[in-house]
Amino acid sequence: MGIIEKMKLDGKKGFVTGAARGIGKSTATAFAEAGADVAIVDLDFEEAKKTAAELAEKTGRKVIAIKTDCTDPEQVDAMVIQVVSELGGLNFCHNNAGICINAPAEEMTYAQWSKVININLNGIFLTDIAAGKYMLEHGGGSIINTASMSAHIVNVPQPQCAYNASKAGVIQLTKSLAIEWAKRGVRVNSISPGYIGTELTLNSPTLIPLIEKWNEMAPLGRMGKPEELEAICVYLAGDTSSFTTGADFIIDGAFTCF
């Protein structure tokens, strides 16, 4: 069997959070194209249903939509139960839901800080644990968390201390779970994207001046594309990455190299 065949995800089942659009939609597409059945998990259920229908039509795989608030433990547990029930199991997941609030630290409210930490870090913890419990009891699996290059650097010119702190926490959580579960068949890794040009990002009036600055600073002179994160996620979801756990993959066009 050649490497292309080994990379396929035929027969595997998984879910992606924050998958109605953007990075999550892109990686969910890649998983389905690689042969997996996938659940599109998002708080925006209408958009999630559209994405699920689109991917099912495009790939011929079973793709379902599930409305979930990833900061609610009961909803997260129920989501995993539904994934297992409707797809027939759970072999991998990409925990990707997140937000960013740009505000100077001295002006940021505690409510703003808490919202970012709750979604970006607590939400990852809840989805990791819910998926991990199932995988530990059913032969293992692969968990992929979305961190950020912001876990490694302090972004400028925008002030985003809560986001940076939350994403640094995601990496340390990833490493901690990887160590705890290494001998029990569950692998946990993270990806740290740089600036990614999603549809919402590129069309946001408040971000356009920042994008111009980011592109000036970027070694490649541009933002990344969501599809440029797909290959690493397919690799991590599948069996060819069986020796890869506790790792963080920076995909940032060398932005963090200086």
Tens-level pLDDT at each residue, the chain (258 residues): 788 888 999 999 999 999 999 999 999 999 999 999 999 999 999 999 999 999 999 999 999 999 999 999 999 999 999 999 999 999 999 999 999 999 999 999 999 999 999 999 999 999 999 999 999 999 999 999 999 999 999 999 999 999 999 999 999 999 999 999 999 999 999 999 999 998 878 888 878 889 999 999 999 999 999 999 999 999 999 999 999 999 999 999 999 998
Q: Which of 25, 134, 142, 148 is catalytic?
A: 148
**Extents of the domains making up the chain:** 3-250
Q: Which of 134, 163, 195, 235 is catalytic?
A: 163
Return the CATH fold of 3-250.
Rossmann fold (3.40.50)
Is position 213 annotated as part of the catalytic site?
no
189, 124 contact by CB (below 8 A): no
pLDDT at 207: 84
Please tell me the pTM assigned to this model. Answer: 0.97
Is position 142 annotated as part of the catalytic site?
no
Is position 242 annotated as part of the catalytic site?
no
Q: Which of 12, 13, 25, 167 is catalytic?
A: 167
